[in-house]
Structure 1
Amino acid sequence: MDLRQHGYAKAEDGTSLAYQRNGTGRPLVLLAGQANNHTWWDRARADFSGSTITMDYRGTGASDKPDLPYSTKGFADDVIAVLDELRIDQADVYGTSMGGRVAQWLAVSHPHRVRRLVLGCTSPGGKHGIERTNEVRRALARTDSRDVLADMMYTPAWRAENPGPYQVLGDPGMPPHAARGHLVASNSHDAWDVLPRITAPTLILHGADDVLTPAANVPLLAHRIQQARTHIFPGARHAYFDECRPLASTLVEEFFAMP
């Protein structure tokens, strides 16, 4: 039996949002990083039991790409449009990188829709968040930025054994205005003041050697979110969820299995 379901939801402004649902059982929303589509989760998706739901953010994949302002709060509203289309009242949510920022707004603005929350390699944003250094920004601006980004995602040893292709280096089909919109959305994120409003049990995961979103953000998030648990993967970089499989996925599965 084919347990895959692909379709489209409509955002409040009419934007068409592509989604992908796999399997049956307890729903789990997986949220990708900035300027990436659902393929971000290709390697890890099968690690999770139940029904996994991914989506192409507006501006990526098969979703519409309006030339309008984007925001992490707006992306969270788009997630709700997908859940409404699928008639899912409540789901577990696992967001990584910018997806973790979107997940924060999802849990704040729609608390009754989030049963349990996992935030991976992410930040509260704003003046309180610990951002990447100017050196890292300059490196990402180089002409060989995809190779640079791959090195920031994975350790050299892991890349030597896993030569790719990698699905976490950005959606190559994004138009320039959408790529800029995603960058602005992620850089403008600031949930510091509202994080204490998160009521869903929360697990925070991070790679210790992440330079894209430094691990110093973990205690900041944990301090602001009630009774949050944390786990840091020694030596891991931004894509800990890929390189540190199956441990990372097992920790998430165990967390979601709790009553």
Structure 2
Amino acid sequence: MESVGGRKLRVARWNLDKPSDHPPILFFNGIGANIEAVAPLAEAMSDRGFIMFDMPGVGGSPDPVIPYNTITMAWTATQLLDRYNLDVVDVMGISWGGGMAQHFAIQHPGRTRRLILVATSAGMLMVPGNPAALTKMANPRRYVDADYMAKHFKTLYGGALGNELGVDEGKNEHIDRLSPPSPRGYMYQLLAMIGWTSAPALPFMRKETLILMGDDDQIVPLINGKFLKSLIPNSELVVMAGGGHLFLLSHKEESVIEIKNFLDAPHGDDLSAAA
């Protein structure tokens, strides 16, 4: 637990105390998702530092006292980076956290080297997904009722992970890693993105950006990644065949390869530093 920017947050760090030739990754998670949900990815990125935190009222972070928004949480993230003397990071986010990652890069360009957006959109201008999946996504019961999650897992997340063994029996590695957000935490996280969009700012953002999307995502359809690609000048789009909303887990090895290739390639870092 860390006191950061007037908030108490549960923070997870990997490899920050080890020498590395690579900047660390600052990761923003999806709505209602706790640190454990993304731990396998952090562990796979063992050649660099990795830092993330549970949003207020999510996982182990206490409930927020007052609502927050993208501006205040991006600033809070900089305070966390200051705590560990991290000047510049590669910024990454999935789904809701992809919006936060975009906003962080726009608000704090001097602290962002490169940007990775996973299964995400430009905010309120997104093309919505499958209505059946969206209605279940908005129901926090998916976190507290294992039978409900198991029954609707495929509808929610689609793709290879939704088809994995064990869903019918209510046994799934992803489900086991989730812990429920508090009602207030979940509501405030929803409220933080109401009316938000990155679209007007993205054409002016010069950060090297990797956009990873699944072609069987029931929540954030692929067209949203294509829209991001059209808006961000220095971007590339990689599509995971058969990937649902959680292809970062179902296609972990492929995802890690794409992420490392992008982060380690000799792109135009002078543009990133100046933007």
Query: Are 1:171 and 2:176 matched, yes or no?
Result: no
CA shift at 1:27, angstroms?
1.0
Partner of 1:4: none
CA shift at 1:148, angstroms?
5.3
- Stretch of structure 1 that moved more, 154-163 or 91-100: 154-163
Q: What TM-score do you get using the length of structure 1 for normalisation?
A: 0.87
Q: Is the 8 A contact 2:36 2:177 kept in 1?
A: no
Q: Is the 8 A contact 1:17 1:82 kept in 2?
A: no
Query: Are 1:69 and 2:72 matched, yes or no?
Result: no
CA RMSD of aligned residues (A): 2.3
CA shift at 1:71, angstroms?
2.4
Partner of 1:3: none
1:180-202 CA distance string (max 9 Å, x none): 11122245431111112322200
CA shift at 1:160, angstroms?
0.9
- Stretch of structure 1 that moved more, 225-234 or 130-139: 130-139
- Mapping for residues 125-204 of structure 1, pairs under 5 Å: 125-126=123-124, 128-140=125-137, 141=139, 145-147=148-150, 150-151=153-154, 152-154=156-158, 155=160, 158-160=163-165, 163-166=171-174, 171-172=179-180, 174-204=181-211
Give the length in aligned residue pairs: 249
Partner of 2:34: 37
Partner of 1:223: 230
1:93, 1:156 → 2: CA distance? 25
1:150-187 CA distance string (max 9 Å, x none): 32325367521784231598531x22111111122245
Query: Are 1:21 and 2:13 matched, yes or no?
Result: yes
Change (3 A) 1:187 1:204: same
Q: Is the 8 A contact 1:149 1:169 kept in 2?
A: no
**Which runs of no fewer than 5 residues in structure 1 stay unpaired?**
1-6
Query: Are 1:214 and 2:221 matched, yes or no?
Result: yes
Extract structure 1 runs of 4+ deviating beyond 6 A: none
- Stretch of structure 1 that moved more, 48-57 or 189-198: 189-198
Query: Are 1:10 and 2:9 matched, yes or no?
Result: no
* AA aligned opposite 1:131: P
* AA aligned opposite 1:55: F
Query: Are 1:56 and 2:54 matched, yes or no?
Result: yes
2:210, 2:176 → 1: CA distance? 22
SS at match of 2:66: coil
- Stretch of structure 1 that moved more, 108-117 or 19-28: 19-28
Change (3 A) 1:217 1:22: same
CA shift at 1:256, angstroms?
0.8
- Stretch of structure 1 that moved more, 69-78 or 145-154: 145-154
SS at match of 1:246: helix
Change (3 A) 1:36 1:138: closer
**Which runs of no fewer than 5 residues in structure 2 stay unpaired?**
267-275
Q: What TM-score do you get using the length of structure 2 for normalisation?
A: 0.82
* AA aligned opposite 1:129: M
2:119, 2:35 → 1: CA distance? 17
SS at match of 1:35: coil
Identity %: 24
